[in-house]
Amino acid sequence: MPIDSARENYRDIAAIYKAENVYERFPLGYIWLVNLQAHLDNLISGAQSAKDAISYLNDKQFYDFTCGGLYKELSIRWRLDYLRDQESVGLDDLPPGFGESDLILDDHIMEIDGRRVSADFLNRWMWLKRLERNVTLPAENPVIMEIGGGFGAFMRLIREFHPRATSIMIDIPETLFFLDIFVRHHFPDKKILYAKDRECLRDDLSEYDFVLVPHYLADGLKGKKVDLLLNTNSFGEMLTGTIRHWFDLFQDEMDVRYIFSLNRFLNRIDFQKDQSRFSFLACNFFFDARWNILDWEADPQFERCPFLYTIATRNLLVVAERKPVDDFDELDSKVAARKYFQQTFFEDWNCRPYWENYVRKFGSNYPPLMSRGDRDLTPDLTMNGSMFKVWEAVRLDRSRDNLLLMARLLESLGGAETPFEEVPFLLQEMINVAATDGKGGTDQITLNIDFQNPGFSWG
């Protein structure tokens, strides 16, 4: 049975983790410590079948966002309408008979024309359709790597369209237990490698259909070529140091062509009451300047389902292609960053103009009531808008001016009392830059509204 094999693999790798004190040396974040203690440890030891294990995860909404009851049909119908209207596809465009896994909790399933459908299954299909707007994978033997892929639902969907791929799946051992079950259930005839040391990862992995990698061993993948890297709703749950480790690995130590990232962005928090997020603030600010951004949208339209999904996190979609080292010029990146800075610097949210006795001034009285600036209802969060341009400026040149511009933009949209959770990270980054350039702190900032040379003057 798949669950017996998965449990044996888990016990083997858990023993290695314990012997090497992995979690003491590389601690998990608070979210996953609670998850393991309250749910996953007992489920790993006590689940009687694959169905029991995966259905329990669905019920608690670990790794997916299926839903039942009143919300089931409403949320499914909304997503079907989106796919029809925005992607011009319907269920008949899926392979015959293909639908949601039979391991998913039955109460979260609708049967439509004999096909199992859930809200989460349609979510992942929307992700794939958005990815396919800009990315075409090789027809033969593409290598797809997913960091933090849960129990494997997104990869199962992708493999239906790319059956000849090699899938490298990286996660903590407890999550790999469920992934192991899921993969063996749905792909019983495929060749699977469960890595228990780094040596096996240095071989040619193309002979395998699935390679399951405990996260501690992932540095054994250095030098590997990957056609597509996936991360969804995972980087935002990692400590900042852990995120840095992953980005260093796949940006500097591997040959990755495309990335698809969908992770939390622009979520407000009351830091006076909840400081648990202080170490988890920055996942979308680690993309370096060597990426060519193909698609980018904060709070993408496919995540705006009005039924229950509004209590999930707001996310940022990034689809990008890696530039070869020989095609990258750091000076060109800084020039491009400067153009983005100049395009956005004079926008009202930054300069904050207002009228006083028929004289235009700049400062704290912006925005006046009865103006469009008061509670902006329609910020453009696509690649055409200010948010993308300022994000690009930061990515291409991590200067103090660019970091401050982003912090001011976030404050203009989210306020200062309960700011977006990225703001403390940006302020700390400005301090880090100040430590190297010797300039003053953020309490000594003035706007330099000069059309020839706009910027911030640092006291």
Torsion sign (Cα): 52, 53, 57, 60: positive
Please write the tens of the pLDDT for every residue from 414-434: 988 899 999 999 999 998 887
Q: How confident is the model at residue 93, as a pLDDT?
A: 97
Q: Name which of 13-17, 27-31, 135-139, 248-252 the model is least confident about.
A: 27-31
pLDDT at position 171 is 97
Q: Region 192-196: what's the mean pLDDT?
A: 98
Q: Which residues does 438 contact at the CB level (< 8 Å), separation at least 6?
A: none
13 phi, psi to nearest 5 deg: -75, -30
Predicted TM-score (pTM) of the model is 0.96
Pairing of strands 143-147, 166-171: parallel
pLDDT tens per residue across span 232-248: 999 999 999 999 999 99
The share of the chain scoring above pLDDT 90, in percent, equals: 82
Counted residue by residue, the chain has a size of 459
Confirm if 244 and 281 have CB atoms less than 8 A apart.
no
pLDDT bin (cut points 50, 70, 90) of residue 438 is: low
pLDDT > 90? residue 388: yes
Contact 235, 245 (CB under 8 A): no
| CA nearest to 160, candidates 204, 214, 121 | 121
- Residue ranges per structural domain of the chain: 2-66+117-327, 330-458
Question: How far is residue 349's CA from residue 163's CA, in Å, rounded to a whole number?
Answer: 49
Does the pLDDT value for residue 227 go beyond 90? yes
Residue 248's nearest CA partner among 278, 211, 222, 214 is 222
Q: What is the pLDDT of residues 24-74, one digit of tens each?
A: 988 888 788 888 888 899 999 999 999 999 999 999 888 888 889 999 999
The span from the first CA to the last CA of the chain, in angstroms, equals 68
Q: Which of 130-144, 147-161, 273-287, 346-360 has the lowest mean pLDDT?
A: 273-287
pLDDT for the residue 439: 63
Among residues 130, 143, 137, 150, the alpha carbon closest in space to that of 54 is found at: 150
Phi, psi of 322 (to 5 degrees): -80, 130
Torsion angle of the four alpha carbons 183, 188, 191, 192, in this order, in degrees rounded to the nearest 10: 30
Chain-wide mean pLDDT for the chain?
A: 94
Select from 3.40.50.150, 3.30.70.140, 3.40.50.180, 3.40.50.300 the CATH code of 2-66+117-327.
Answer: 3.40.50.150
Return the residue matching tokens 């926008």: 347
Q: pLDDT-derived band of residue 451, with 50, 70 and 90 as boundaries?
A: confident
pLDDT grade, residue 458 (50/70/90)?
confident
